[in-house]
Amino acid sequence: MSLSPLLWLSVLLISLLLTMVGLGGGLIFSPLFVILGVSKSEAASASLFLNLIAAGSAAYTYSRKRMVDFSLSIPLIVSSSLAAPLGAYLNVRLELRPFLITMAVVLALAGVRMLMSPPAEAEGTGPEPAKKLVGGIAVGVCIGLVGGLLGIGGGVFVVPVLIYGLKTPTKVAAASSTFIVCFSSFTGFVGYASMEAIDWGFILPAAAASFVGGQAGARIMSARLKGRNVRVMFGVVLFGMSARLFYQSLFGP
């Protein structure tokens, strides 16, 4: 697949907007590439790499501003990184139709999450250390498995779990999420790279756009997060892409 100017701009904007809410862009990249006709394994591997670059770019900025909760992030990083290659292994052995339906359902659920505002009590001081460890390991396994399977990095699951399950402040949850998904994206990508050739001619130029977008998104969010507007906008986009994938699973491209 070639990187046209329009696709380059799309990668940049997707990375910019999604890093502001704790995502690297994989949530959009993977289904977008599938819709464009790329095979599901190639779409997932490219998505994970771009997700790694965007999230890593943003995480660097967030960590310098002391917005990442490392004690909360490490348990999720270890367990999700170990589980992500298994998700990649399952992807190449899954038929296209159930893959598309699974992705469509995940996107629809993500759209619902984007439209939800965190409750006031979730803006507390954060979870206790023991809850961070146990909850982080259990959640990380699920996130790594599903993120590796779908090529989305898992950030869409990390943010709501941190906010609603572990009572983490919204900005800390979003910043920590970008740090966490770097690792599951990397190990998931390595899983794909070990099984088939990677289209570096497309991935590397796209990665440059993803890096720029991640930097811009992190700087905007660290100054002032307009979470509600971004969630609503991407909720609508996710519902649209979910409907498109459902249609593709039933009637073909």
**What does the pLDDT read at residue 69?**
85
Please identify every stretch of the chain with a pLDDT value under 70, giving residue numbers as ranges.
1-2, 117-128, 131-132, 151-154, 224-231, 253
Among residues 51, 47, 78, which one has the least CA distance to residue 140? 78
Q: Can you tell me the distance from the alpha carbon of 14 to that of 251, in angstroms, rounded to the nearest whole number?
A: 27
**What does the pLDDT read at residue 153?**
63
**What does the pLDDT read at residue 118?**
58
Burial readout 224-239 (b: 16 or more C-beta within 10 A, e: otherwise):
ebebeebbeebbebbb
Place of tokens 């890096």: 211
**What does the pLDDT read at residue 123?**
47
> Are 108 and 239 in contact, with CB atoms under 8 Å apart?
yes
Length, in residues, of the chain: 253
Place of tokens 């898992």: 154
Structure tokens at 8: 């380059």
DSSP states of 50-114: HHHHHHHHHHHHHHHTT---HHHHHHHHHHHHHHHHHHHHHHTTS-HHHHHHHHHHHHHHHHHHH
Tell me the domain boundaries of the chain. Answer: 5-251
* Number of other residues whose CB lies within 10 A of the CB of residue 200: 11
**What does the pLDDT read at residue 53?**
93
